[in-house]
Structure 1
Amino acid sequence: MGLEMINCCGFSLKHGTIIIGVVQSIFSFMFLVLAAAYAEHPNELIDISDISVGPSLTALRIALSIIAIVSALECVFSILLIFGAETNRPKLLLPWLISNPVVLLAYILLTLMAIIHHTRSALFIIGHLTLGFFATFIASFKFLCVWSFYKHLKSLNF
């Protein structure tokens, strides 16, 4: 039978999926705007009084541009998720179902890289592990809700 849910936090799978899509589209849009704004002016994020910061400024600009692009895609996929859930079209849920595990895996790998890079600070490691655990738990729960709704729609031959 697998991991199938009957409801999502007290809501039906359909309404839970729509709520997930709305919340994620709002957060994705906020990250898009912030990352794009800081990619244009990265000196607002770090102090550039030191000349040796120059090369890292370019790396920061590239990283913020990548975050803006991924956020834009996630916003589009979240809107497709909302529309697909509202109209009972499981194929519109697939971009979200494919992209979110990829983004979660990238997040986990980057968190592990940050922990390895900053092995001297125990507080940093504990904070990243705690935040990473909660982010992974929430993302997995969201994925399980949407996946259950997708399987439900497929079982109804939509």
Structure 2
Amino acid sequence: MGVQMTNCCGFSLKHGTIIIGVVQSIIAFMFLVLSAAYAENPHELVDMSDPSIVPDLTILKVILIIISVGSALQCLFSIFLIFGAETNRPGLLTPWLILNPIALGVYILATLTAIIHHTSLNMTPFIIGHMLLGIIIVLIVAYKIMCVWNFYKHLKSLNF
């Protein structure tokens, strides 16, 4: 079944989907540039933070490379989303609709892992902050996925 939506934040589903694609491609590109730059010089991140919580430099470099690849895919699929919405091609929306729920699941697992890892310490502000920020991010991403999914279903119903 699912939730039927006719607009996205006051815009039509088409324009809302395009706005989601533009904003997300800009954010993904920024993450790509920053993570790629820090992957080249991971010691700069260690210099800025508490060294006791930062993993080994090789592990940090691998994590930053994974983030760079994920950001590049997100940027590419967000551009597909923009062109798919503009040209009414639901096939171009599909990669975004596959990647984002997976990315949301990975984010939820990473947040839960961070919370569980810090429960043994007296880190109540950290845990509460992570939970609140995590809930806000999950709600925003779930809303974006619902908007794009409803536009995808609309295009499919028109036999595009």
Deviation at 1:52, TM superposition (A): 8.9
Letter in 1 for 2:80: L
* Match 1:147 to one of 146, 149, 159: 149
Supply the distance in 2 between the matched residues of 1:150 and 1:157 (Cα, whole angstroms).
11
Q: Give CA deviations for 1:48-95 in whole Å, capped at 9, x if unaligned.
A: 9xx999961111111000000000000000000000000000010000
Which residue of structure 2 lines up, in the alignment, with residue 114 of structure 1?
114
C-alpha RMSD of the superposition: 2.0
Structural mapping, 1:9-158, within 5 Å: 9-47=9-47, 56-119=56-119, 120=121, 121-158=123-160
The change in CA–CA distance for 1:87 and 1:130 in structure 2 (over 3 A counts) is: same
Q: Give CA deviations for 1:22-58 in whole Å, capped at 9, x if unaligned.
A: 000000000000000000001111139xx99996111
Normalised by the length of structure 1, the TM-score is 0.94
Structure 1 segments of 4+ aligned residues over 4 angstroms from their partners: 51-55
The change in CA–CA distance for 1:41 and 1:3 in structure 2 (over 3 A counts) is: same
For structure 1, list consecutive stretches of 5 or more residues without a partner in the other structure: none
Supply the distance in 2 between the matched residues of 1:153 and 1:53 (Cα, whole angstroms).
47
Deviation at 1:118, TM superposition (A): 1.0
Deviation at 1:2, TM superposition (A): 2.8
The change in CA–CA distance for 1:52 and 1:90 in structure 2 (over 3 A counts) is: closer
For structure 2, list consecutive stretches of 5 or more residues without a partner in the other structure: none
The change in CA–CA distance for 1:25 and 1:58 in structure 2 (over 3 A counts) is: same
Normalised by the length of structure 2, the TM-score is 0.93
Supply the distance in 1 between the matched residues of 2:131 and 2:142 (Cα, whole angstroms).
16
The change in CA–CA distance for 1:84 and 1:45 in structure 2 (over 3 A counts) is: same
Supply the distance in 2 between the matched residues of 1:117 and 1:55 (Cα, whole angstroms).
14
Identity in percent: 67
Letter in 2 for 1:118: H
Letter in 2 for 1:59: I
User: Which moved further from structure 2: 38-47 or 81-90?
Assistant: 38-47
The change in CA–CA distance for 1:53 and 1:134 in structure 2 (over 3 A counts) is: closer
Contact 2:21 2:82 in 1 (8 A): yes
Counting matched residue pairs gives: 157
